[in-house]
Amino acid sequence: MNVSVNPCDDFYEFACGNFIKYTIIDDDKPFQTTFSIAGDTLLNKLRIIVTEPIKPDEQRPIKMAKLMFKSCMDKEKIERDGLEPFKKMLKSFGGWPVLEGDKWSYTECTWKDIVYKIREAGYSVDYLIRFSIGIDLKNSMMRAIELDEASLALKGTDEKSVAGYYRYMVDIAVLFGADRHRAVKELRQSLEFEIRLAKISMTAEERRDTAKLYNPMKLADLQQNYPTIPWKEYLNNLLFPLTIQRDDIIIVNAPKYLSELEILLCSTPKRISANYMIWRFAAQCVNFLTEELRKRELEFLTEQSGKTERVPRWKECVGISSDRFSLAIGSLYVRQFFDESAKNEALEMVDGIREEMNKILSTNDWMDDETRRNAIDKANSMTSHVAYPDELLDDCKLNAFYENLEVNDKDYFTSIMNFTKFLTHYSFSSLRQPVNKSDWINHSKTAIINAFYSYDENSIQLPAGILQGVFFSSDRPRYMNYGAIGFVIGHEITHGFDDQGRKYDKHGNLVDWWAKKTKKRFLEKVSCIIKQYGNYTVDEVGLKLNGFNTQGENIADNGGLKQAYSAYKAWTRRHGEEPRLPGLQDYTPQQMFWLSAANVWCSKYRPEALKTDMASNSHSPDRFRVIGPFSNLEDFSDDFRCPLGSNMNPVKKCRVW
């Protein structure tokens, strides 16, 4: 806290000022936040798990997770192996033209052949057309194939970031053995190709209109609409060993993009598209290869985020192992480190906060009766997954999930590729499997500092990992927990009723259940939020917030904070007023609620990272996650006695929920 600041003038500075003043951002980080601090604490616990010696009777998934960590740490072996195994893989794809020079044969190597070979290796097939198996938005009990615009590596089209990205492309190709003169020329063409892909892609604003992204087709429709791509062959190669059926639903998220991609591919020489795709593949693998490549990658990341060091090798390897073996490591994390009493208290908080959302839905003055009934029905149908599913502690189920995976400590790069292939196969093979919305596998990423709302499940998820540190502890006053994790819980619940979530019904189907007049009133209220946040300026980088692209998260912040506060007041009515916090006797329990809620967002960013974040993040910068919602709530102003017209108690307030 910076108590020299008037809380009614700038509550973020009051609650987080000394965090900002005294926090030094580590050289290996683009920022320091309460989330990253909690993440470091979690990482230390996961380190204990993966570095324990393998026991003779160790479960196979746990053993593989430890072996992956061990092989990741063996830098000498990775250097000895060098680039030859990787270059051999490139040859199997038909070669990287910029490396092969005049030897590269384009007669047998189309962009489709490269996609098929990269898919066979288990890597991303999303460089030109994003392909996934998702939930059918209008029938959430069915899965569908989804086709979308490309996933791009180029972030931002300003001159500086494009120039830095281009230098990185050329240098990586040269480190792989390309002639610099050739790389300069050929990768310039690849860069221009990626810029053209960016130009035919939808904007973030356009993608907020979910209805426009839902364009279901059958195979015959797809072939008729985009005739230059042999869709049956293409989809069969991606789905192998499954085959595409005539009646399968294919949802095209970006119809215009696919039409323009056809034109672009027809007018682009094969060498340029091949260079681009293999570059993207190579860039994704740099992290797992030699130190020389990784050093150049760090220079590129420094330009983007301002961080000047890589994270310590052990942190990187713990992250890689725990991310890939999230079920196995999550299982051990819960057994060794999770406080069971936290689960029950968190469940009680979820119930209390949901009840407050119900009250808001029941009593607001702008909904018609039928829309209100549907909204309450949706809120009552929302499921919650707190801490971890019981199946995570079932060794038989864990072993069965990882049964077809092979990982050892002899060859790090091959182990990474094996895992990627395993995960791709798992995802794609789900196409005709029944949808189980409470499937334990989808709710088992427990060792993570985050929380989620799922539109198609109408569910919130609160993993075990976030129930610690600044967010939660079962041995401190409830006003601290309701302010911190309560804010997060309310935020996730409100996502069911933000500008996107409101378009889905209680079953998670994309259905318009709003009466016309009520929808109009909702959009007017949202418009207030868009304008409010769009008028905020981030002084450190001199940029205004994008109120439109951040509206969903801003609605969730405003609604979530209000619900958490109301739930705490309801808890106090049942259990009585809690004692004040020792050392902070001057602050009432209600004031401590607001302080605890603000502390969740204390952060310090490097300017480069803040700019990058603002360009791509759907959340507002942390300062405005406090300033915005707090200044909209009369309860806050009452508790801190902020005069009407002060910064934190403006005359005009915005409220959706």
What letter does residue 236 receive in the DSSP assignment?
H
Mode of pairing for the β-strands spanning 143-149 and 129-135: antiparallel
Q: Which of 10, 492, 553, 622 is catalytic?
A: 492
Please check whether residue 170 is in contact with residue 465, taking contact to mean a CB–CB distance below 8 angstroms.
no
What's the rounded Cα separation, in Å, for the pair 318 and 311? 11
- Are 617 and 492 spatial neighbours (Cβ–Cβ below 8 Å)? no
Quickly list H helices, 133-179.
Answer: 159-175
CA–CA dist 369, 144 (Å, integer): 34
Three-state SS letters, 10-64: CHHHHHHHHHHHHCCCCCCCCEEEHHHHHHHHHHHHHHHHHHCCCCCCCCHHHHH
DSSP codes of every residue in 562-626: HHHHHHHHHHHHHH-PPPPPTT-TTS-HHHHHHHHHHHTT-EEE-HHHHHHHHHH-SSPPHHHHH
Is position 557 annotated as part of the catalytic site?
yes
Contacts of 465 (CB under 8 A, 6+ apart): 42, 333, 446, 447, 448, 449, 450
The overall longest dimension of the chain from CA atoms, in Å, is 80
User: ω into residue 643 within 30 of 0, thus cis?
Assistant: no
Dihedral sign of CA atoms 464, 470, 471, 473 in order: positive
CA separation for the pair 604, 601 (Å, rounded): 10
Residues 563 and 376: their CA atoms lie apart, in Å, by: 15
Strand 603-605, strand 31-33: pairing: antiparallel
Q: State the catalytic residue, choosing from 148, 557, 622, 639.
A: 557
524 is catalytic: no
Distance (Å, whole) CA 374 – CA 509: 13
Catalytic residues: 492, 557
